[in-house]
Every structure is written in structure tokens, then in C-alpha cells.
Amino acid sequence: MFGLQKSIDTNPKRIEEVLTRGVVEVIDTEHLRKKLLSGKRLRVKLGIDPTSPYIHLGRSVLLLKLKDFQDLGHRAVLIIGDTTGVIGDTSDKSSERPLLTKEEIKKNAATYFAQAGKILNIKQTEKHFNSKWLHALTYDDIGEHADSFSIADFIARENIKKRLDTGKRVSLREMLYPLMQGYDSVAVKADIEIGGTDQRFNLLAGRKLQERFKQEPQDILTTALILGIDGRKMSSSWGNTINILDEANNMYGKIMSIPDELIIPYFIHCTRISMARIHTVEEGMKKGENPRDFKMELARAIIELYHGALPAKSAEKEFVHTFQQRNTPDIPVVHARKGLLKDALLKERAVASGNEFNRLVAGGAISGAASGKITDPKATVANDTYKIGKRKFVAFKVE
């Protein structure tokens, strides 16, 4: 099914890097380390809900970690949550997540495996849609699974407690999500599950349900959540993402617009530049070397990963020509609050209305010297000089 499989790499140094690079928590570390050193091929699970059509760098963090295990010779198991995506995960939400339609999810998921293939060896990856087993469950099955958890378990979660304390609605639908993600682990007999720190409750649900089904509980590895170009958590709903399918010039500009404090986290989580080199970069920044130069190195590394060396070189050349050589007018810098670019431009009367802004974005007529062409009407304002139409420019400094 998967062709020739490489032997299992049990090099302690490589295993230690997999267990530590960008990792926040392992449950439990010694147990997993022993399994990795044993030479047994493990089944490493990652689930992604297709809540938007594009995989962004925030999700690439988990795919890169899955690839790390794959490079050690373990079985990468990638699940596209076409059923969990409809229900919606509430793990990182301060309000109820809108219910998506099956049609929206199917459309979003159409290219997910192909996108994941920019990171994973997709031919050696076990691929699933979780509707395969979740649609077959009955109320009797779901009731049995639910018996493993209490209401107190669910409402003790920090974001749920905050919502309840402030009188915000929490639907029963949201309580189903951990059961569904947990059952995914049972269905694929996962030895390890990877997820972000916000997924901890759902990952532990997998362990609990595996115990109920007489399976050995999976080990868990969580990674940090990276921030988007506006300093908030990277999220498609906020328009602050760098998508792995972004055109090279646009991707380069977005990376150059991130705050300096994100350079090291992006190096660690979004590239596989050696940790030795990253430590050198970190020391250089502490000594006062120009962060811009390191940010350019970061942009090249990320673009090479998704587009190749030549597009990365071309994107850098274009950026230098457009931005560093200041082929934009010398205009005053306007202070702006974090938020939507549309709102910032409306405030400065650079666009007459929200509808005009949307038309300009649709026509490719708004671009940032660093951010590149703006294609998302929900894009957030960045530290950048924006060109609106043919002659209008606005430079923002975000506070």
C-alpha cells in the first residue's frame, strides 16, 4: 500500500530534537522516548479540519512535526475532519463557532491532501476523511462514548468557563467535538497524536476512549501556536495568515511584515533550519544586528520550502527593489490600531466605503510594499506602505 518503507531511525539525538523542537508538552515523555528508541514503527496521527480552503503556516507547524516523525520512519496518519469540521472545534474560541455546511467543508477540503504534500511524503502518508467512521456511529455508540466524560470535565476548560461566567451561550453541539476527535484515535489505532496546545482536552479524550476500547492510550505531543502577521494567533477568520499556497512575492512581503519578536518562533516552528543556526540568529539579534537581515533569511527559507530556491530568490529581489530601495513615495506614517485594513483605510479616507474597498481588493488594486497584493477583504493592517489604486498611498504604523 505504501511501497518500500525506510527502516526506523533510533538515533537518540534525532529523537531528542523531534521531542523538543517547538514542543510545549509530551504525555508522557519517557514512555514515548522508549517507544521511539525501540525501533517499532509507530502510527502518528494528525487531524486537520478544513474550515478554510487554505492551509496556513500555523497549521504547517503540525505538518512539519508529523514530517519529522515520518523522516524517522514512522507511519504518518493524516485525517481531514470533514465531519468534525461541520461541528466545529471550540478549543480556541471565545464564542460559539458557526455551524458550517457539508458543502462548504467539502469545497474547502478539495486540495488539502495536495497542500499537505508540500510538506509530507504524501505517497507514504496514510490518508483519511473522518466521515468514514463517524457517519457509521449510532446514538447508542455516541451515548457509550459520552459515558467516558462528565459535564464538569468540559466546562472546566478555561475558554468554556469564561463564556459561561460572562453569560455567553455554549451549545451541546460543541460538547460532541472532543468525543469525535477522540474516536478518530480509536479508528486509526494511533500510537501518538500531535496537536496545538489549544487541543489538549481533545487529545486527552483520545487517550480516554482508547482505554475504553482496550487500546493502549496514545502518547501526546503539543506544539506552540504561532502568531499571525498582526501579532494575534494566526487564524483564517482574522485574515492574518500566511498561506502555504500564497504566491512567492506575497508570501515574502507578509513574512517581512511580521513583528521582530516573531522571527525566532517562526524559524523554530515554520522551517527546518538547524537549531544551531537559529541560536546564532538569536545571539545576533541580542547583540543588535539588524533584524531585517534575519527576517530576509527567514523569508527565503520558508519560500524555498513551498516554492523552491529560484522563486525565493526572485521574491527577495522584488522586495528589495520595491521596499528597501523605497520605490514608493516618501509619505507621512499614520498610527493605526490593530484591526482590519479596511477600517484603517476608511478612517484615513483612503477609500470611500467598505464596498469600494471590497471592489478594489477583488480587482487586485490594493497592495502593500511588504505585504504584497491584498487578496483577502478581512486582511489586517500591518506596518506597511499601502498603494490604493494608481496614485494613492498610505503608510501605517500599528500600535
3-class secondary structure for 49-82?
Answer: CCCCCCCEHHHHHHHHHHHHHHHCCCEEEEEECC
Instruction: Please give the distance of CA 359 from its chain centroid, rounded to a whole number.
Output: 29
Contacts of 203 (CB under 8 A, 6+ apart): 27, 181, 193, 195, 218, 220, 222
Q: Where in the chain is the domain with CATH 3.10.290.10?
A: 329-399
Q: What is the pLDDT of residue 326?
A: 52
- The CATH superfamily assigned to 234-327 is Tyrosyl-Transfer RNA Synthetase (1.10.240.10)
All residue ranges of the chain with pLDDT < 50 are none
- Quick one: pLDDT at residue 311? 95
Q: Count of alpha carbons within 13 Å of 338, Cβ hemisphere only? A: 11
CATH code linked to domain 329-399: 3.10.290.10
CATH architecture label of 12-223: 3-Layer(aba) Sandwich (3.40)
CATH 1.10.240.10, the chain: domain bounds: 234-327
Hunting for cell 457539508 — which residue is that? 102
Spatial CB neighbours of 138, under 8 Å, sequence gap ≥ 6: none
Domain with CATH 3.40.50.620 in the chain: 12-223
Residue 162: what pLDDT? 80
The pTM score is: 0.81
Evaluated on CA atoms 80, 85, 90, 94, the torsion sign reads positive
Q: What distance in Å separates the CA atoms of residue 298 and residue 112, rounded to the nearest whole number?
A: 25
